[in-house]
Structure 1
């Protein structure tokens, strides 16, 4: 891990994780030069490698970097160790190996029985497989003492049954990933060829469902996720909505399987809310926002994440329903809390929330505040959050500069953004269209109605790519263009009279 990545890892640490690292470092003896590097990366905005190397002996910086990474990861592992059942089972497996090696054979088998039962009741099948295989290894070393052939075959068949289930889950998961990437990259299907390919995936899923020998929470979850993506790809929003409620119901019926580790459910709800926003089903969103808000966790990090996502989606609903004054009042009430959220959550989440807040300020014509939050995002972009958030933030930054009539600066920023897109090979029809429209608006402030009409006409050529459609919908660019067009048309009529 290089120094920049290590710096980003340190920035991502919560207060609890920093405390765990400090406690670990305090228990160690001997040279602790890596702590000096830790403090430097924590406090410095930029990394001056030459200056750093001078403060260490030959190869000292590299040694400190390796030690710092090792101890950071060790502290993070210790902080996570007992937070969920899976971690505890893995630790129990290690304890079993130690007991068996020390000669406590009976106790090690009792441990393995307990691990297998807990793993099965919590559908943690990989843990069951590890425990079951370890049990057979230990029994073989003891010449299968106390075991007859029927009992041995029963144990082997149980392993085969679970392995087959895991293989089916893998196949099902692969299909889900394929349909997701098609949806995210290409959006809804239009051509006969695309529909045929999609139906092939549907047939494969049908075969998996027909041949499954185990109806687990994971297999049901994958089926509903696949169906949801399928309905979105064919443009059946009602079908998708029905599946969203079924998915939530499935999780509510199986709380014992995820309560101690609710991360997947949190991000499932986040995904559902994002999709509902894309479908413009804003009245359906509050139910899922409340489900998100009601998740409880022993992890402070996850609680911060829940609060941040809840705030983001509440603001999104207000923004898209043109309730900008309500959103602004809500922001004012949550001001201190937002400061806490933007220092205690992963940077990708911070960036998403800051973009939503910037959009709220933009529609309130509070451009100074808009730029404040956008600058926070753009100044900290070092591949630490999604490229899509970066592109959306940069476009809003350009539009804000246009509203402020900073045209000279705007020309410079447009050229800079064009170079960035080209260098990253991220140019697309929409990016080029929006930049072209902005350049035309700067050049021609009088004949704007034709520019806007041209924009609307060219939007018809935009493919159904979800990535590109999401930029339009998140920033409400079409709405902005309509308002600008109406304003300019009014000015033109006044001038003519």
Structure 2
């Protein structure tokens, strides 16, 4: 929808981008209704955006809202392009190539060829093989139009071979991209591999990737990057976190030695750093996380987009909270969150939903560690109700389980009965649910709070083999890395006295479906 698109674009502008837009608009002529619409979007909260069109029509009854929104979208986009021209190597290369095309179209051959040569050098420096090929192809076309008066046969053949090799390299990169994208697609739509049969489904991708690397060894940054990204995410998906950590470390070294070759914002580098810290969290090497947190903090710069800086900032916050909660410093975690910017926890269109879920989860976990059950539930309700939450994501599973634990501590047994039925109604629950999910639900059903210590001791003895199997299962660790649910289960069965159960709680909510 056009309104949503223009709102999203305006809301993601950084302060410096807004200032440049105002200056850019002063150079434009014509009706200024689009500036009114811009200011209207700026001052209207996201929750009230349904009133946007009505407010605009009240001020400009004779002007089409859709036409104005479309024009504003174009103006904002054009101004952002101008901003990026000074900072983004890719934009600079494209502008140089376009300048060459304009000059050549006006038969300014000497000047046009000069710009093409400049485009070739810029593209070569950043290993942008496709644009480098286009520049060579355009240069060959110019010489052909001039009946090859300005070039020898040997020089022409050399240029043709360079162009051909560039295409071969670009094809190899494309094949790497295809395999990496297919792996990510399967992880997103199927979920991270949770069992040996699902692990085997990914083996065809691994074999294809290994074949590509073996048969077509490339010594360029892009191919090496894609190879290491594929390997690291593959190892993560099958639960081999030590191999993933090793590969992520190689990827980090590759990025640090090739910073000048990264086009645009360093999203891939940020993703690699997140992968390293996630692997360290999984193997509980918490003492090594701070080193990489400092690297992420170094990526937060004023020249980056607000969206990128927000994602990097939330990564830093999330893993700082990870360190606090891992050492059970729950009060320190909450003190740290109070020092954060007031709007950092607000949900908005620019949020990475998985990262937002993690952030809310760890704050909720801090409250949980302090026995503040109601605050825990309140925060986790926001997590489970996110419209883009993917039930396959481990963080979603962890958040839902922690909510079950908090409701159990509150004594919301009626709610938990509905929630357990909701779990069991889910498609393929028996075959695809994690063992820890089943064990938590079983614990709630056994209701150790209601039992005497002797009965709980007997029940725990029966459950102990299952608990040990879960702790040592590399697939279960995808959820256990967020919180030690098995430890909580053991503490419930080793309590020395009964706990009075409340029938209801004011924070009961509709069970997730």
Q: TM-score range by the shorter chain?
A: 0.7 to 0.9
Residues 221-277 of structure 1, C-alpha deviation per residue, up to 9 Å, x if partnerless?
Answer: 233334434555666544333323222222222232239632211111112212332
Residues 380-435 of structure 1, C-alpha deviation per residue, up to 9 Å, x if partnerless?
Answer: x333899735554444344333323344555667778889x67xx9x952497378
Aligned to 2:491: 483
Aligned to 2:15: 15
Q: Assess, with a 3 A threshold, how the Cα gap between structure 1 residues 417 and 211 changes in structure 2: closer, same or farther.
A: closer
> Residue 342 of structure 2: SS of its match in structure 1?
helix
> Residue 244 of structure 2: SS of its match in structure 1?
helix
How many residue pairs align between the two structures?
A: 482
In the alignment, which of 441, 445, 448 is matched to residue 440 of structure 1?
Answer: 445
Aligned to 2:361: 355
Aligned to 1:402: 408
Aligned to 2:506: none
Displacement of 1:37 after TM fit?
7.9
Aligned to 1:337: 340
Listed as ranges, the gaps of 5+ residues in structure 1 are: none
Once residues 186 and 389 of structure 2 are traced to their aligned partners in structure 1, the CA distance between those partners, rounded to angstroms, is: 25
Aligned to 1:117: 121
Q: Assess, with a 3 A threshold, how the Cα gap between structure 1 residues 340 and 187 changes in structure 2: closer, same or farther.
A: same
Q: Assess, with a 3 A threshold, how the Cα gap between structure 1 residues 437 and 188 changes in structure 2: closer, same or farther.
A: closer
Q: Assess, with a 3 A threshold, how the Cα gap between structure 1 residues 227 and 145 changes in structure 2: closer, same or farther.
A: same
In the alignment, which of 248, 273, 281 is matched to residue 269 of structure 1?
Answer: 273
Residues 70-105 of structure 1, C-alpha deviation per residue, up to 9 Å, x if partnerless?
Answer: 444444444434322111111222222222234432
- Tell me if the contact between 2:364 and 2:379 (Cα under 8 Å) persists in the aligned partners: yes
> Residue 45 of structure 1: SS of its match in structure 2?
helix
| 1:106 equivalenced with 2:110 (yes/no) | yes
User: When the two structures are superposed, what TM-score results if normalisation uses the length of structure 1?
Assistant: 0.78
Decide which structure has greater helix share. Answer: 1
Residues 323-362 of structure 1, C-alpha deviation per residue, up to 9 Å, x if partnerless?
Answer: 122x532542463334364469931244432322222222
Once residues 134 and 166 of structure 1 are traced to their aligned partners in structure 2, the CA distance between those partners, rounded to angstroms, is: 17
Q: Assess, with a 3 A threshold, how the Cα gap between structure 1 residues 120 and 446 changes in structure 2: closer, same or farther.
A: same
Aligned to 1:252: 256
In the alignment, which of 173, 179, 195 is matched to residue 175 of structure 1?
Answer: 179
Residues 293-322 of structure 1, C-alpha deviation per residue, up to 9 Å, x if partnerless?
Answer: 3446432634443333122112213323xx
User: When the two structures are superposed, what TM-score results if normalisation uses the length of structure 2?
Assistant: 0.76
1:449-468 matches, within 5 Å, as 449=456
Q: Assess, with a 3 A threshold, how the Cα gap between structure 1 residues 243 and 303 changes in structure 2: closer, same or farther.
A: same
Once residues 210 and 478 of structure 2 are traced to their aligned partners in structure 1, the CA distance between those partners, rounded to angstroms, is: 31
Query: Which is worse superposed, 140-149 or 442-451?
Result: 442-451
Once residues 439 and 371 of structure 1 are traced to their aligned partners in structure 2, the CA distance between those partners, rounded to angstroms, is: 16
Q: Assess, with a 3 A threshold, how the Cα gap between structure 1 residues 461 and 270 changes in structure 2: closer, same or farther.
A: closer
Aligned to 2:101: 97
Aligned to 1:32: 33
Once residues 173 and 214 of structure 2 are traced to their aligned partners in structure 1, the CA distance between those partners, rounded to angstroms, is: 13
